[in-house]
Structure 1
Amino acid sequence: MQGRGEHNEDARRCRLAVNRKLLITAAWLPLGLAIAPTAHAADDGPADVAASGEEADGTIVVTATKRAASLEDVPVAVSVASGEAIARAQIRDLKDLTSLVPSLSMQQLQSPANVNIYIRGFGNGANNSGIEPSVGVFVDGVYRSRTAAQIADLPDVEQVEVLRGPQSTLFGKNASAGVISIITRLPQFTPGADLEASYGNYNAQVFKGLVTGPLTDTLAVSVAAGRNRRDGFIVDPDSGQRSNGRNRWFMRGQALWQPGDDLSLRVIGDYGLIDEVCCAPVNVQSSAATQAVLAVGGKVNAPDAIYADQAWWNFDSTNRIANYGFSGQLDYKASRFKLTAISAWRRLTSATNQDSDFTSGQMLARNAQDLTLSTFTEELRLATDLPGPFNALAGVYYFNETLDQRNAIAFGRDMRAYANLLVQGASAGALSVPLLEQVLGGLDGNPARYAGRFFASGQGSNERYRLRNEAFSAFFQGDFKLGGALTLTAGAAFTSDTKRYAIAGTTTDAFAGVDLDGRAYAPFRQQLLAAAGFRARGVNPQSPAAIAAFAQADPQGYAAVLGRAAANANNPAANPLGALRRLQLFPPYVDVPNAVEPGRTHDQRLTWTARATVMLNRHVHAYASVATGFKASSINLSRDSRPFPADQAALEAAGLAQVNQTYATRFAGPERTTVYELGLKAQWGLATANIAVFQQTISGFQSNVFTGTGFALVNAGKERVRGVEVETVLRPAPGLTLSGSATWLDPLYQDFTMSAVGDLSGRRPAGIPALSFTLAGQYEHRLGRTARLFLRADFHHESPVITEEGLPGFLDLGTAAAIAASAQYKRRIDEVNAALGLAQGARIEFTLWARNLTNNRTLTKVFDSVAQPLAISGYTNQPRTYGASVRYRF
């Protein structure tokens, strides 16, 4: 298949050359096309369906710089997971890759559509559809702009490349922290297939496969499909329902037209569906609000049973996420130039409904979101292959995206009783919901105005968000070789990004529409202040006789109590009703655009990279580089999207400010990244070693923190992380491969005064372990002429780390005390994965596998419990899973 099986010269270098005859006669495509039989010797291997990206001498070929090259020759920090390693490690989706790449970490939150991806400790993008991730994910060169479009199963992957640091001069969109590049297998001009079935605990069933072959001498096609289902590992003890399971499938079809070595066209169409009940958090810390939940009949786990895999809910949290699209890549080579054009259209629909009070009580009856996202991208680039010392790559990139999102949240039947208990607790029994309705309505002139309306079932909020994003970038990178040892690289990219957004919301939350600071309620506030003053002096405010006796015995003290109450009746800072503001969950909105806020951002930036690479000898080379990165503004598309404080005066002058108007952010400005890096790469045949030392600074990092009712999106002033990365591979004996990779990070908030939990300047960011490493080994042993036994194991460690830097629920404690209080929720990871397999020839493979073999349990994320002041919830990691699989290839 040499020549025909490869669609261009660069791709040919990426494939393992196979020059074997076929054993089989098959009708291999679902289309029913017959393939003529061909025979070969019985001990020959299968056709090269995998196209592994690894040369016969073990060299790994990557396309990190948009050119095919050996991993050891690419002067950038990049890790590679081959398709074979992914299959043998039983890696199902991107989240599992963290066990192979220590610099990469991921956190799944309340939905399969919400996963934060981090490289070198930094990343964002989940929970707020207006935020594009700082880590860009590309599949076959096509950008996936949201995490819901990125988390997919990996049945037909050739390899995954993880590039650390900004990649703005080669990738067209938002790669300020790094890039994950997923490369799927090319259609082959030799018929073949790769089929696998797996069964494991929790009734896990995985079926996936790929079939490929030619339709004509110049046209090859492939069809890949996968099905992944598993029962949930978290159980509701009352109903027996399960959460955190798997139920997803996808298909991908490809066609490769190659009329000659100088021209190829690759067309891809794919469709994936996730339809799962996920994700149930557990109660980590109780509060008075938790006791109120229990009092109205709700149930939550005790904090000492976090890892019992039990939680309570009153309806399933459903997630239906469809992700599909088409792309085409044209490669044309003329003389010393290669032209590549990639066009893609994608669509994402996500419909979720979550039991967001995370209890068996029905404080919330629904929290539903419907999201539709459509993107069109176009990339055109030209690469040279000149005989002289200079070569370059230049290109342009266009991105167009539209987003439409609707949210609806509503109180349930238990909310009124629950809120009544919280009101009583906050007022030491002096107030209740019915009393508030009666008194506040009476002061408004109608005692029945609020009767039965506060926290009534069905009240809530409805929102609609729309976003249009149009971006353009032009990029250039050139290499100049000075002699045979030194190469200088320089690159630049100009990016222009425009976003237009609209936010509209309506609220039916009657209590949230009451201005507790309103002047009409001054007599009531004065009465409450006086009662508190009498109580502080040991006088029962409910007893007129006791008050009269106090007035006679201490007339000055009596006058002081009344005077203080009168003086503070209209002081918001002393408002005795102030503690109830936490229960005003869905206040009115200021819609955007409006006369003050145009609903538009425009950012443009020139980013650049400079690098020097030195060949120290034929085995070792070193590099030094400086690179900058950029990510445009992100929009706060959540119910906590509030006007900027700077717009307050203008909004009030225009009459646009609402009752209980608060001010925060509509959007976070751009992220700007600078990385200084020194690297060393060595290849000695039986051993390789890669070392990178770096300092990365991010100005304006877009921090998105959940506050218990919504999301605070703000820019951190400046974050810095210093680090060292080491990757080694050793092949000390035939069949034995040992590898190790480690990352040490020293992060710091240099300036973050406006965080959701106070001033974090000078503190270590949460969630970034100081040390993470993976040790892995694989051994293959021949049994007879064709059978092989293989054993693979890896150990992944992350040092203890605080998962949140002072939860917003601890704000009353002050920043330092809040961080100390949240330190008890540290996460430490020590996971062991293993596989034992038997291969019969190159066709059949049986494997026993286990992930998280030692059942290491951790909290992956903690957050303020929804509408439960000072209570904390959290998500736990996946317990031990194990099973068996069979794989058949020809």
Structure 2
Amino acid sequence: MNGIIKRGLAVASSMAIGLSASMAVAQEEVFFEEITVTATKREQTLQEVPIAVSVTSGETIEKAQVLDILDLQTLVPSLRVTQLQSSGNTNFVIRGFGNGANNPGIEPSVGVFIDGVYRSRSAAAISDLPNLQRVEVLRGPQSTLFGKNASAGVISVITALPDDTFSGKAEVTAGSYGQLIVKGDVSVPISETAGFSLSAGSNTRDGYSDNLADGTDFNGRDRWNVRGQLALVPRDNISLRFLADYDEIDELCCGVGNLVSGPATGAIIGVGGAIVPNDPFGLQSFYNYSPRNQIENSGISMQADIDIGEMTLTSITAARNVTRIEDFDADFTSADIIGRNFSDTDIDTFTQELRLAGGSENVDWMVGLFYFDESVKYDTQLLLGNVTRPYTALLASMGTNPFFWDGLEAQLAPFGVQPGTFFAPGQGVSETTGQDNQALSVFAQVDWHLSDRATLTLGANFTTDEKDAFVRQVNTDVFSALDFVAIGYAGARAGGADDATATFISTTPCSATNPPPGCNALLGLQALQVLPQFVNYPNSVENGNSEDDDVTWTARLAVDVTDSLNMYASASTGFKASSWNLSRDSRPFAADLAAIQGAGLQTPNLTTGTRFAGPEESTVFEVGLKGKFARGAVNLAVFEQTIEGFQSNIFSGVGFNLANAGKQSTKGVEIDATFFATEALEFTFAGTFLDPKYDSFVGALGVNGPEDLSGKTPAGIHERSMTGSATYTKDFANGNSAFIRADYIYESEVQVVDNVPKSVASREVNVLNSSIGLSTESGWDFMVWGRNLTDDDFLLSAFPSVFQEGSLSGYANQPRTFGVTLRKAFY
């Protein structure tokens, strides 16, 4: 192992020794409370469950002012959540693995479950967290029990059931940038066997990024949610839980800053536009219109638990819908270059899970199945703006002639080119895409208790997945449809060149040492053909269908070394089915090109690429230790995890490049510790130490275009991530209490994305959060809090600027914020 892993092990060992020694001094004082988890779909304590899992309680979430899953990463170092160009484009990453944002054809590698119901897209999982009991983050492949889209891990959110007595709470928060959060919940017992609860909330905040072009601000909040549940116990052996939820997001989000101003900046200024150059953290931009995104997310579910003798049958049925409408200024300048960049997404999902669990003195077992049916509809439109023509004319003429296209159109009139048709306002592409997906998983897991202290676990999951995808595009971009090679060849032949000479001229770019007429000057304009014609599918060559089958498995041995120390060794695999590229960057595979040409489907300037990325398969070998003591606990995991065929989705400047990385591996150490110095003073520490690399990734979209990244470190994965907290609680004789808390997050420097240089876009995180609160015996809570108190600046992501070759852009993090929260509980 390299130095990073060794340092991680050294930290873990010293912590374990220190905790054991300090806790042995006062074993009679027990401050540490057991935490119940359902990570294996059974109730166990956190220290008993033999997998790597982080658990955050509802109380901790309230004290740390964690509002949603984005904030949760400040407490779990193995988890990273990144929001990109819109509220709904959010990426979940565990142990450096994760994808699924920015392309509706790609399901996340990290599965998100809320009360046992799978949320297939991040837009369906980012609303403010409801009345929480706890959040579990399961690290590493979890496909055996959670199915096809848990190849990197699982985030499981568990909310509270209705109370059996009348109770509730109301809460108001006021904070920086005019933030106002109002939320509440109430539980009402209907009878001794029935209870109802209702929760609702709204979250509004002005944006912290200013649009200097029109005076608006963005990166704000404007969202609300409502959620109701009914719990019934019609018989002693039957419990039912009905849930219904609805939430909306209508926000101006998200702002982009300029990292590098390339040669195109002069042309932007030349057509009257403006840009804030080389300052992504100034939180100021020039957009000719502010980015807007609207999300509506709704669903219903029913869970039934039926005891049948010594067995329990569990059924979870759910139907969900999420719609997204987005429109943002894709050139991120005040010049109207991209006049419209609109998308409308509608996703309907139905899921059904059945589990039967039972056991005896020596064996616990579970069998089940999971059915998934989803329909995706995705319509997009990208149109050229009012100044695209003079802007591109300045680019083509090296900044000298905004009327460059007038002359070229006249020269190409013999080829059918009409005056004024190049880069005319309103030209562009409109796409209608979609995907139907059906999947079925059948799984089983058995725990054999070999002795009072040893348990062998074996599990397997068979998953079959079928997708039918389509893309239909209408392209009106005249310039991008021109075949410059054919035009060059025809011109050379008309000038008297023979076939061989004309072929050479038509395919040879001009240069200072090879000027016309021995070359094709038009080839120098190909970089401006940003919206080439598209081959729609399904077609006679490509059927738009993928079918994948896979068996994943888990094998684990857990041993209780002592009453307070457990160890386990495990091996498990994960699976994620093929993902279709539902973007304008979807291109036929090179292997299909000849057949497409033979079928007469070829379009001008057709290039090859990928229509879909094949399955993603992960394997992890892990050894873990879990120790609990009177004053705390320490958990350690050492692992080696690989993903073959990792589905990499990188923005190329116009669309998304979707490809399978041949193999990506990570060796790592994770530590999670809690220590009560006294009953009132609690310390926590969690650390993740990783050694990641691409074992094989040929043809990756790198800094210099397609390249071989094999043997290199993947971008975006921090080698060291650590969080620590200290909480002091004081109880008063009158029943009141107070607390003060601080938590700190550190992530080592890393290149943000593979196709932007580290010298331009790197990220190192040093964030301090704090809160102080007072609780009264009568149910009042008052809290003052601050997040990112050091006002640390770092990039969330970066990308080549749209239609601005040589320029780079990036998303900055949220600046320092403060607030106060007032909460009243009633019983």
After the TM superposition, which residues 97-496 of structure 1 pair with which residues of structure 2 at under 5 Å, given as runs? Answer: 97-303=72-278, 305-386=279-360, 388-425=361-398, 432-442=404-414, 444=415, 446=416, 449-496=417-464
What residue identity is the alignment partner of 2:110? V
User: Any idea what SS the aligned residue of 1:659 has?
Assistant: coil
Letter in 2 for 1:827: R
**Amino acid in structure 2 at the alignment position of 1:518:** A
Residue equivalent to 2:11: none
Q: Verify the 8 A CA contact 1:517 1:572 in the aligned structure 2.
A: no
Residues 256-297 of structure 1: per-residue CA shift (max 9 Å, x gap): 001344210000000010000001101110111112111111
How far apart, in 1, do the equivalents of 2:653 and 2:355 lie? 46
Distance of 1:782 and 1:140 partners within structure 2: 33
- Cα deviation for residue 784 of structure 1 reads 4.0
Q: Would the aligned equivalents of 1:525 and 1:569 in 2 still touch at CA under 8 Å?
A: no
Name the CA distance, whole Å, in 1 between partners of 2:493 and 2:456.
72
Alignment partners' CA distance in 1, 2:547 and 2:793: 44
Match of 2:759 in 1: 823
Question: Once the 2 structures are TM-superposed, how far is the Cα of residue 335 of structure 1 from its aligned partner?
Answer: 2.3
Structure-2 separation of matches of 1:870 and 1:593: 35
Q: What is the CA distance between 1:520 and its match in structure 2?
A: 5.3
Matched residues in 2 for 1:859 and 1:336: separation?
A: 54
Between structure 1 and structure 2, the one with the greater Rg is: 1
1:170, 1:595 → 2: CA distance?
39
Q: Deviation at 1:577?
A: 2.5
- Offset at residue 302 of structure 1 (A): 1.9
Tell me, in whole angstroms, the C-alpha distance in 2 between the residues paired with 1:217 and 1:198. Answer: 35
Letter matched to residue 358 of structure 2? T
- Inter-partner Cα distance in structure 2 for 1:576 and 1:156: 65
Contact 1:801 / 1:826 at 8 angstroms: preserved in 2? yes
Distance 1:786 1:750, change over 3 A: same
The residue type paired with residue 524 of structure 2 is A
Q: What does 1:4-153 correspond to in 2, within 5 Å? A: 58-153=33-128
- Measure the CA separation in 2 of the matches of 1:430 and 1:301: 23
Structure 2 equivalent of residue 498 of structure 1: 466
TM-score normalised by length of structure 2 = 0.92
SS at match of 2:141: coil
1:798 to 724, 740, 747: 747
**1:732 pairs with one of 659, 677, 680:** 677
- Structure 1 distance, partners of 2:684, 2:68, is 22
* d(CA) in 2 for partners of 1:463, 1:842: 59
Taking the aligned partners of 1:297 and 1:524, their CA distance within structure 2 comes to 39
Query: Which amino acid is the alignment partner of residue 598 of structure 2?
Result: A
Q: Distance in 2 between matches of 1:179 and 1:373?
A: 21
> Does 2:597 match 1:648?
no
Gaps of 5+ in 1: 1-54, 531-561, 808-820
Return the alpha-carbon distance in structure 2 between the equivalents of residues 431 and 453 of structure 1: 13
Aligned residues with identical type, % of pairs:
44
1:389: how far off? Answer: 0.8
What RMSD over aligned residues (CA atoms) do the two structures have, in Å? 1.9
Selected match of 2:717 from 765, 768, 789: 768
Distance in structure 2 (CA, Å) of the matches to 1:752 and 1:181: 31
Structure with the bigger percentage of strand: 2
Structure 1 counterpart of 2:18 = none
Q: Tell me, in whole angstroms, the C-alpha distance in 2 between the residues paired with 1:289 and 1:844.
A: 58
Match of 1:755 in 2: 700
- 145-154 vs 578-587, greater mean Cα deviation: 578-587
> Secondary structure of the residue that 1:416 maps to in structure 2?
helix
Q: What is aligned with 1:552?
A: none
Please, which of 780, 787, 792 is the counterpart of residue 844 of structure 1? 780
Change (3 A) 1:430 1:228: closer
Distance 1:796 1:641 in 2: 38
Structure 1 equivalent of residue 476 of structure 2: 508
Q: Which residue of 2 aligns with 1:866?
A: 802
Q: Counterpart of 1:546?
A: none
Please state how far the C-alpha of 1:206 moved relative to its aligned partner.
0.5
- In the TM superposition, residue 349 of structure 1 has moved relative to its aligned partner by 0.8
**What's the CA shift string for 1:742-787, capped at 9, x where partnerless?**
0001000000002122110010000001100001011111344122
> What is the CA–CA distance in structure 2 between the aligned matches of 1:288 and 1:768, rounded to whole Å?
31
The match for 2:566 among 621, 625, 649 is 621
TM-score, normalised relative to structure 1 = 0.86
The residue that corresponds to 1:26 in the other structure is none
Q: Is the 8 A contact 1:106 1:115 kept in 2?
A: yes
- Between the aligned partners of 1:385 and 1:235, the Cα distance in structure 2 is 60
- 1:523–1:569 CA contact under 8 A, matched in 2: no
Match of 2:812 in 1: 876
In the TM superposition, residue 312 of structure 1 has moved relative to its aligned partner by 1.1
Q: Separation in 2 of the partners of 1:156 and 1:301?
A: 42
Q: Distance in 2 between matches of 1:198 and 1:526?
A: 75
User: Cα distance, 1:429 vs. partner?
Assistant: 7.2
Q: Cα deviation per residue 1:90-147 (whole Å; 9 max; x = unaligned)?
A: 1111010110000000111100010111000010000000000000000111111111
Greater RCO, CA 8 A, separation 6+: 2
Closer, same or farther: CA 686–822 of 1 in aligned 2, 3 Å = closer
Residue type of the alignment partner of 1:879:
P
Show CA shifts across 1:44-79 (max 9, x none).
xxxxxxxxxxx9961110000000110000000000
Per-residue deviation, 1:452: 0.4
> C-alpha distance in 1, partners of 2:795/2:63?
27
Structure 1 Cα separation of the partners of residues 524 and 769 of structure 2: 49
What does residue range 571-720 of structure 1 map to in structure 2 within 5 Å? 571=507, 575-720=520-665
For residues 56 and 150 of structure 1, the distance between their equivalents in structure 2, rounded to whole angstroms, comes to 34
Letter in 1 for 2:477: D
Secondary structure of residue in 1 paired with 2:411: helix
Q: Is residue 568 from structure 1 mapped to residue 513 from structure 2 by the alignment?
A: no
SS at match of 2:536: coil
Equivalent-residue separation in structure 1 for 2:499 and 2:191 (angstroms):
95
Rounded to whole Å, the distance in 2 between the matches of 1:453 and 1:506 is: 17
Whether contact under 8 Å (2:143, 2:574) holds in the other structure is yes
Q: Distance in 1 between matches of 2:499 and 2:578?
A: 51
3-state secondary structure, aligned to 2:484? coil
Whole-Å separation in 2 of the counterparts to 1:722 and 1:525: 61
Preserved CA contact (<8 Å) 1:287 1:870: yes
What letter is aligned with 2:381? A
- The answer to whether the Cα contact below 8 Å between 2:55 and 2:134 also exists between their aligned partners in 1 is yes
How many residue pairs get matched?
A: 783
After TM superposition, the runs of 4+ consecutive aligned structure 1 residues lying more than 6 A away are: 428-431, 524-527, 562-567
Corresponding position of 1:554: none
Distance 2:80 2:783 in 1: 27
State whether residues 155 and 208 of structure 1, in contact with CA within 8 Å, keep that contact through their aligned partners in structure 2: no
Per-residue CA deviation, residues 406-458 of structure 1 (Å, 9 max, x unaligned), is 101101101111100111129x979922222111223x1x5xx3310101100
Contact 2:242 2:301 in 1 (8 A): yes
In 2, Cα distance between equivalents of 1:147 and 1:751: 28
> Can you list the C-alpha shifts for 1:347-393, whole angstroms capped at 9, x where unaligned?
0111111111100110011100011000000000011132x211111
Write the distance in 1 (CA, Å) between the matches of 2:213 and 2:290.
13
Q: Which residue of 2 aligns with 1:553?
A: none
Structure 2 gaps of 5+ residues are 1-29, 511-519
Q: Distance in 1 between matches of 2:440 and 2:228?
A: 29
